[in-house]
């Protein structure tokens, strides 16, 4: 499901990426600014781009100042033959602009989520630059030693045919799911693939629910605390009981490719929530995420079997991944993928894209992995 253009910019905090500038490149360091018009939202957003230079290395930060002004890191800042290019991994966006002969104006295009809009930027002096608002203070976090539960939880059957699907902390006090099954909740709460759930009734996957719940105690929970709350919700409202076992299953294993890693380390809070999502089918972004987070998204949304992280990599990264899906992917769409793009600019398949863009390799194999065996589960009572 495509997200509204630029909406994600207000929710991410970036890291700085860089590439070596061309020796003959004009001086593009300093502040660039312009206005992005979004017709479908009847809205204009002021954009500021700050570019610095360390030796021959260009670095940049991106600001959408009418959406809060949080800094968002830029990668791949290059200028060649008067063409400036950069990407904004945390927003799943790219920019390409042509410099005029004076090196003052850029005529370019901002692309995000499969859409593209004109964005012209002007090189301005400090006294002409728009003021970047101070970002709001981060929300107070839930105590790290808290063992939280949902104080109140409303569970309702999803409206038949309603679009969208997701699980999110809308704010520190509001947990929400849309079109989520009990199986989806188990997958999230225990970090497994649907194939790792055995002895389950058919309704576990077919019946969909919209949930809104309030955590107790207050404060923004981390991912582990959200998982704990969902585990308790499953036990309390769905009467879930299970035991664990092991089973040999077909899996996809992720390793570091021989070409070497191509991931940008994140400067986000190492204990904060990762941000992962899609700007369209085959257009994924990750912010402050580790490889296990990425594997979890791949196995829960894209692939038809568990995904195992065998990279041994630690730390968190910011990146985006673009590929052309095939009919074996996004099983939730039941094979109803749109026609693949044509032409030389069409993204590669997933496995090629992983190596070319991230320096990762993914291959099919078999492995003994843990499974959840359902002993008892009930449909939740209406409320």
Q: What angle do CA 36, 26, 55 make, to 5 degrees?
A: 105
The pTM assigned to this predicted structure is: 0.61
Domain boundaries, the chain: 7-128, 149-243+372-376, 248-333+344-370
Identify whether the C-beta of residue 153 lies closer than 8 Å to the C-beta of residue 212: yes
- φ and ψ of 27, to 5 deg: -75, 110
Cα–Cα dist 58/19, whole Å: 6
Q: Is residue 6 over pLDDT 50?
A: no
pLDDT in tens, 137-193: 878 899 989 999 999 999 999 998 887 788 888 888 999 999 999 999 999 999 898
Q: Is residue 3 over pLDDT 70?
A: no
Mean pLDDT taken over the chain: 86
Give the contacts of 102 (CB within 8 A, at least 6 positions apart).
none
CA distances from 254 to 45, 89, 340 (A): 39, 21, 25
pLDDT in tens, 45-103: 999 999 998 788 888 999 999 988 888 888 888 888 899 999 887 777 889 999 998 88
Q: Which of 6-15, 47-56, 229-238, 308-317 reaches the highest mean pLDDT?
A: 229-238
- pLDDT value for 43: 86
Q: What is the mean pLDDT of residues 291-317?
A: 92
Identify whether the C-beta of residue 350 lies closer than 8 Å to the C-beta of residue 298: no
The model's confidence at residue 270, banded by pLDDT at 50, 70 and 90, is confident
Structural class in CATH, domain 7-128: mainly beta
Identify whether the C-beta of residue 238 lies closer than 8 Å to the C-beta of residue 378: yes
Cα–Cα dist 286/294, whole Å: 8
Given the DSSP bridges, would you call strands 197-198 and 360-376 parallel, antiparallel or unpaired?
parallel
């Amino acid at each position: 499901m495509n997200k509204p253009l630029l909406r994600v910019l207000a929710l991410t905090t970036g890291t700085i990426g860089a590439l070596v500038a061309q020796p003959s490149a004009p001086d593009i360091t300093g502040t660039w600014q312009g206005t992005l018009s979004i017709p479908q939202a009847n809205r204009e957003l002021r954009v500021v781009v700050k570019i610095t230079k360390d030796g021959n290395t260009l670095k940049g930060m991106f600001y959408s100042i009418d959406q809060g002004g949080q800094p968002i890191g830029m990668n791949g800042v290059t200028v060649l033959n008067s063409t400036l290019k950069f990407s904004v991994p945390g927003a799943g966006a790219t920019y390409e602009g042509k410099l005029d002969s004076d090196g003052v104006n850029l005529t370019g295009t901002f692309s995000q989520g499969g859409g593209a809009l004109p964005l012209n930027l002007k090189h301005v002096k400090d006294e002409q630059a728009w003021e970047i608002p101070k970002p709001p203070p981060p929300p107070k976090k839930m105590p790290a030693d808290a063992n939280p539960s949902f104080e109140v939880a409303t569970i309702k059957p999803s409206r038949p045919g309603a679009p969208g699907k997701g699980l999110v902390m809308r704010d520190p006090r509001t947990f929400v799911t849309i079109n989520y099954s009990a199986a989806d909740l188990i997958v999230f709460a225990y970090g497994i693939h649907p194939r790792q759930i055995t002895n389950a009734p058919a309704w576990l996957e077919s019946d969909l629910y919209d949930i809104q719940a309030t955590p107790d105690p207050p404060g923004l929970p981390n991912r582990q605390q959200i998982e704990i709350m969902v585990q308790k919700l499953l036990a309390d409202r769905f009467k879930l009981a299970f035991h664990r076992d092991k089973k040999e299953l077909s899996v996809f294993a992720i390793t570091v490719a021989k070409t070497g890693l191509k991931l940008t380390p994140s400067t986000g809070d190492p204990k904060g929530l990762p941000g992962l999502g899609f700007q369209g089918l085959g257009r994924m972004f990750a912010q402050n995420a580790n490889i296990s987070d990425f594997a979890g998204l791949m196995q829960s949304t894209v692939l038809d079997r568990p995904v195992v992280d065998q990279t041994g990599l630690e730390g968190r990264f910011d990146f985006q991944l673009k590929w052309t899906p095939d009919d074996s992917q996004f099983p939730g769409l039941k094979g109803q993928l749109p026609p693949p793009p044509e032409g030389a600019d069409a993204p590669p398949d997933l496995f090629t894209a992983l190596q070319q863009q991230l320096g990762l390799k993914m291959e099919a194999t078999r492995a003994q992995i843990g499974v959840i065996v359902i002993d008892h589960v009930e449909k939740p009572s209406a409320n």
